[in-house]
Structure 1
Amino acid sequence: MEESEELSEVEEEHVQPGEKPLRRSKTKNTFLKKTRAKKSFTCTQCGKSLTTKQWMERHMRVHTGEKPFTCDQCGRSFAMKHNLQIHMRVHTGEKPFTCDQCGRGFIQPSGLKEHMKIHTGEKPFTCDECGRSFTFKNRLERHMRIHTGEKPFPCDQCGSSFAYKHHLEVHMRVHTEEKPNTCDQCGKSFRQSAHLKFHMSIHTGQKPYPCDQCSKTFIGPANLRKHLTVHTKEKPHSCSVCGKRFSLLHHLHSHQKIHTGVREYMCFECEKAFTLAKHLKQHQVIHTGEKPFKCSHCYKGFNQPANLNRHEKVHSKEKPHTCDQCGQSFTIKSHLKKHMKIHAVEKPHHHSLRSRPDGGTK
């Protein structure tokens, strides 16, 4: 320990701010040869040999626990004066060792040396379970929790445990009800920044997840997965009461409330009750007058995403609903239905609703 501390002091003297710390400089080699050649003081506690009486006195602090050098800013104490001097840079903000690749500064040359691995691409720490490599040892140690199942960060409110401290911090917002990520378009808040990012696609209209079976696009991977069941026709979840089948389990759970008659979500404004929370939420905008869904073309607001989708067809000139009697097309299905009444008078019982392949119902 003392040899390494002596070495760090020598390194501090010879590595100037702005220079890269060397892996094994001539100064280090010369220093190590000299110190190993003359060691005349032996510790009676652990048998370690040191070169001078002064270093022996310093070494004895390891056994006595003495830390005579105290920081006047925070009260932290150190066994070595040199360590206090380095610590003081935390308070002064001094970072004399700068990376010549990105300009980031460091308190010690050892910090800069570790940082340089990011630029060199060096990843010396490899997981023996899956072969993944890491730049830093602590990153590998954190990664290993995936394989060991270790979750050292428990929640003191509900007992749930987490592998990473950050995950615990995010989880605690469930108990504190803190939602620090706020949408600047509609004011809705979220616990996680990822949830806000997903929500923003409602306002921007961005749908980066396309279906490879049809032309539809979706705002998230979960939405795309749900949609794909339309093409696969897979419906593994069946209702035990009426036998109706569903592609997704939560659709079955929602359906089963029809049989139980449970309407657990009530509007406090008018006392109307709903089986699903999303239906209550959609209903409440009637009372609030909120129109959070904005058109990306004219910024007109709508209280439901379906209304926004229908409106945007005005800008896209899309008219998927076509009359099979005269060929006239319409943006909205209800407009086609109204139009069909003209033909119903002319030819009763000889008309049908026809839509283009990309939308609508025949």
Structure 2
Amino acid sequence: MTPSLFRSGPQRRRNLKGENKESEEVTEAEEKHDFKPVIKSTSPSLKRKRKPSFTCSQCGKRLSYKQSLKIHMRVHSKERPFICDQCGTSFALKGSLKHHMKIHTGEKPYTCNQCGQSFTHPSTLKLHVHSHSGERPYNCDQCGKKFIRIGSLRAHFKVHTKEKPYVCSLCGKGFSQMGALKTHQQRHSGVKNHMCFECGKSFIRDAELKQHQKTHTGEKPYKCSHCDKSFSQSGHRKIHERIHTGEKPHTCNQCGMSFTHPNTLRLHLLSHFGERRYNCDQCDKTFVRAVCLKSHQKVHLKEKPYKCSLCERGFTQLSAFKSHQRRHSGEKNYMCFECGKTFITNAELKLHQRIHTGEKPYTCSHCDRRFSWLASLKIHERSHTGEKPYHCSSCEKSFSKLASLLSHRKRKCQME
């Protein structure tokens, strides 16, 4: 006979009472959610009642406690009962709200004993500590890449399996992670929740904001292993080092030309497929991208609200005004990853990159010759029209190019 059957008195009554209560809880859960108690193992002893495992009817996940099941169901119901009274963000868990509130209070109780940097959550500190030790305990058995977190390894592994279960309903693009899909969808909506308090610029992702903030702090922790240049982002250093190694991993499938940077390849492809569909209604200029047309149309506006305090020159666009100010300071933030040359404006960089990409978007209206720059096209077309707009004030000789006039003046002055 089973020993527990011989018990008597208060102990037996307590056991029976506990068993009856637990049975009532299981019955109640079965009635409400159609959950089935699962016994993980069998034993001849009745001393200990097996804890029921509650199974979610939505996804099949099993939980040990009724309260855990209730919290888990919020994943499916999207219920977020805990709301931040500062910004209105809602959470499924009370602990998540408590952690979030530290953003508003500025509380960072967890401090790194290596560098003194503080964090709001212990898990963030734990990950940060790995940056000092260099420890990456989780290895990919496919390519050998190492990771600090097991979650990062799992996400990375989908690169090898080609699994992309999360699909954008707007454009059909697939993603291996739900977080990547949500970030992508924000790009469709244009929502930029992460703002830089230094300059007011907004970003879709927190990671993008953190990278941007290095432009204000001047922090450049990533040093080139071949020269003295430093970079604010590891990706920029990696691309820069290709100048030294000669690596050009991005190849055009149309002509076979290779490039160090994917953006350079993207610009190059315009020379093959770049249909100039966007026309300016004020002049005859055409553009490949709508954003370029929008930027160009401001040229026709007479209003110039941005004034330079050094030379009083006016600008229609804030970006043009900032670029102009860099000409006074000599600051050149835009670097060509093909040759390392730097430029004051992004537009100058893009024009320069045509040397590497071979892009020639300007075609002569009189012959088949093509040019990378509009100015080169205009000079060439004068060979067809015979136009010579540059005149020497001394001898009244005319020239089609300004350089020819300047050269003529120099020679004349030397002769005199």
Shorter-chain TM-score bucket reads 0.3 to 0.5
Normalising by structure 1, we get a TM-score of: 0.41
Normalising by structure 2, we get a TM-score of: 0.37
